[in-house]
Structure 1
Amino acid sequence: MNIENRPNKWIQELKDRGHAASRQRILIMTALSEKRVIHDMESFWLELRQEHPISWATFYSFIRLAVKEKWIAKQGKVSTYARYKVLVD
């Protein structure tokens, strides 16, 4: 993951809506922006965690926030079978 690929527009939206732009959140946002579609969020987190110290709680709370803010869309009813798609650039 390259820091130059940071989703600056998304980071600004995060700040504009009153949320903290922590290092972990920016890492998660960057990884999501690079991937665009995630078929298994747990596997995605495990891959991300190999490079960066991000807890499941931090990761999951950001995913919930991103869905709530409509930055990513959850497709599917059950979380174990859900597919996620990034909606922002």
Structure 2
Amino acid sequence: MTTGFNTTAADQLKQFADRMERLMDEIDGLKADLKDLRSEVKSAGFNIKALDKLVAIRRKDAGEQEAELLNDLMLYAHATGTPLDIVVPEPAE
């Protein structure tokens, strides 16, 4: 590459690479923090898989949470033979 040729693009690309490298370093640090937290949770006697599931549910939006709750309710009712009295809303016209 010739000196001074397209230096703006080269500088911009270098800045992007530097930023990406910093973000990847931050991600690595956060992964290490998460690993330490999981060890702490396990040593406190809690189930890590259950905690992961809880966090996944909490991160979902309200609509997804409601759909998952209804699905779980339907599965429970089917498995136990419990009749459900469900009213299905009419679609808006």
Q: TM-score, normalised by structure 2?
A: 0.22
* Structure (1 or 2) with the greater strand fraction: 1
Q: Which has the higher contact order (CA 8 A, sep 6+)?
A: 1
Higher helix share: 2
* Pair member with larger Rg: 2
Q: Return the TM-score normalized by structure 1.
A: 0.23
